[in-house]
Structure 1
Amino acid sequence: MATPPPQHGAGPYHPYTPQQGGPYAPYTAAQQPAGPYGHPSLPQAAYGCRLCGGLPAAPATVRGHQGMLVLMRFLRQEGPFCRDCGLATYRRMSADTLWQGWWGPLSFFITPVTLLMNLGARAAFLRLAPPTGGFRPALEAGRPLLRRPLALAFLVVIALIALTPPTLVLIGLTAGEEKPPALITGQCVRNEGDWHDQKLLTTDCGSVNAEYRATRPADAPGGTCAPHDFLASLEYSADGKSLTCLTPLR
C-alpha cells in the first residue's frame, strides 16, 4: 500500500522559511553623518590646526595691513589654528601691521581697525588647551605683542605724536608771559621796542648802550617828569600802578 505524500506543515521537519529579525540581518553599509554640501564628514583629525595638525583648534582668521602711500595690501591667514600656532600668527601679523600699516591716508584709519579685529582671534586662541596629536611641532608663540622691539618703539612714537599738541598747549597756558622786573630810581635802561610796545632792558649806566635813566615816579607827591622825559609802562612799576620817568642820557 502506497504511503501518501506529506502534507504542508506536517511531520517533524518543517520546510525552511527565512527568519525575519534574526540575529544575522542582511548587511547594509554604515551611514556616516553628512558633512557640508552633502558629502560624508571627515574624521575629526582633519579639522586640526592647519600648520601643525594639533587639536584642539579654533576656526579664526588673523589679519594684517600694509600701507604704501598710495597703494595698500590687505593680508589674512585663515584657520583653524591651535593655541600656539594661532598666537604666533597673531603676534607676528599684528607686530608687522603696527609699523607697516600706517603709511597712507586711508591706511591710517584701516590699521587700528585691523588690530582691533585681531583681538577676537586672540581671545579664541587663549581659550584653547595646549595642542596635542599634531603631525609636526606647533609654532613658538614668541614674545607678547607689546614686548616686541619694533612694535613697542612704534607705539612710543605714536604716543609722543599724539601727546605733543596738548602738551604744548598746556605749557603755553601755564607759563604765560614773564613779568618784567620793576624799575628802581637811578637805573639805566635801553628800549629795544617802540613806545607803544616797550621792551626796557636794564643796562650799566657807563655803557654806550644806556639810553635812559629811571627817575622819580610821575605820580610822586610834588614831583613831575621833565619836559623831555618819557614814561615807562605800568608793567615796569613795583605795584603796577605807578609811572616811572625815563630821562634821556644824550
Structure 2
Amino acid sequence: MATPPPPQQGRYPGPGPHPHQAPFPPRDGAFAPDGTPQAPVYGAYAPRTPEEGAYGCRVCGSLPVADTTVYGHQGMVVLMRFLSRRGPFCRDCGLRIVRDMSAKTLWQGWWGPLSLFVTPVVLLTNLAPWGRLRRLGPPTGGAVAPLDPGRPLWRRPAAVAVLVPMALVALAFPVLVLVAVVGGDGKRAPLAVGQCVRNAGDWRDQDLRVTECGSVSAEFEVTRLLDAPGVACADGEYIARLEYGPGGRTASCLRPLR
C-alpha cells in the first residue's frame, strides 16, 4: 500500500483558510441561497449591495463604500497636469481625499491660461463624489483605521487664501460702481447759468460740485458763460476752468454767495 506524500513546505492542507489569514466576519443579515447564514469570506469582503463593489475601501478595507473617482488639477503656466484617485472609498477616507485634492487644486490649479477654465470644472466635478460619500454610513470592518476626514474645505488655509482674493475680485466691480455713484453725487459738467456750486479743492486744482442754492454748503453762483467776445466777469467774481464749460472750452463766472 502506497503511503501519501508528505505535505510540501510553505503550503497549507485542505480547503480552509490560510493559517495566517484571519477570516472576515459575515455581514449582518447575509444568508446563502438555501437560507443558512453566510459563511466567512477569506481574502475579500462579501458585498451586500452592488454599490459596495467586490471589495472594501481601497484605503482601509471598510464597508460600506462608494465606487467613485476624485479629481485634481495643477496649472504650470504653459503645461498642466490632471490628477485622479479612483475608489471604492468609504465615507471617511473618501471625504479626506476629496478635501485634500480640492484644497490643492484651489491654490495649484490656476497657474495657466487654460487652467483658469479647467480648475472650476474640476472643482464642480468633485461635488458628485462628495455627495455620494456623505450619504454613506460609518465605516466598519476595515483592516486598518479609516483616514481622518479632516477639516472642511472652507476652513483650510490653502483654500481660504484663494477664496478670499476671489471674493474680493467678485466684489470689486459693484464696490467701484457704488463709489462712483456716491462720490460723484453733486457733480455736473458743464455748468449752467443759475446753478450753485461749492469748491471741494483749491483754485489751483478746482473741484466744483453742483449743490442746492439754498444749502449752507453753496459757495458760488454761476452768473454767465464767457462764450462770446467782449463778455467778462464782474468785479469780485471768480472764473471756473474751461473743463466746466460747454464742450470743455468755455469758462464760467462764479459769484461768491458769502
Which TM-score band applies after superposition, normalised by the shorter structure? 0.5 to 0.7
Q: Who wins on radius of gyration, i.e. which is larger?
A: 1
Q: Is the 8 A contact 2:73 2:105 kept in 1?
A: yes
Do structure 1's residue 114 and structure 2's residue 122 form an aligned pair? yes
1:134 and 2:142 matched: yes
Structure 2: distance between partners of 1:245 and 1:124: 75
Map 1:139-150 → 2, pairs under 5 A: 139-150=147-158
Matching residue of 1:171 = 179
**Structure 2 contact 74–108 (Cα < 8 Å) conserved:** yes
Pick from 79, 98, 103: which aligns with 2:106?
A: 98
1:191/1:134 Cα in 2 relative to 1: closer, same or farther (>3 Å)? closer
Tell me how far apart the structure 2 counterparts of residues 110 and 176 of structure 1 sit (CA, whole Å): 40
TM-score (structure 1 length as normaliser):
0.58
> 239, 244, 256: which is aligned to 1:232?
239
- Choose from 69, 73, 86 the match for 1:61: 69
Determine if contact 1:192/1:200 at 8 Å carries over to the other structure: no
Q: In the TM superposition, what is the alpha-carbon distance from 1:229 to its structure 2 partner? A: 8.1
Structure-1 separation of matches of 2:118 and 2:101? 15
Counterpart of 2:95?
87
Q: Is the 8 A contact 2:45 2:56 kept in 1?
A: no
Instruction: Please give the secondary structure, in 2, of the residue aligned with 1:165.
Output: helix
Taking the aligned partners of 1:104 and 1:53, their CA distance within structure 2 comes to 38
Instruction: Give the match's secondary structure for 2:121.
Output: helix
**Number of aligned positions between the proteins:** 171
In structure 2, the gaps of 5 or more residues are 1-43, 48-53, 188-196, 209-219, 225-230, 245-251
Corresponding letter in the other structure for 1:141: P
Identity of aligned residues (%): 51
Q: Is the 8 A contact 1:225 1:245 kept in 2?
A: no
> Is the 8 Å Cα contact of residues 94 and 133 (structure 2) preserved in structure 1?
yes
Secondary structure of 2:71's match?
Answer: strand
Write out aligned runs for 1:1-250 (5 A): 44=46, 46-176=54-184, 180-181=197-198, 191-192=203-204, 199=206, 232-233=239-240, 243-244=253-254
Q: Does the C-alpha gap of structure 1 residues 44 and 200 become closer, same or farther in structure 2, counting only changes over 3 Å?
A: closer
Distance in 2 between residues matched to 1:126 and 1:200, nearest whole Å: 60
**Aligned partner of residue 150 in structure 1, secondary structure:** helix
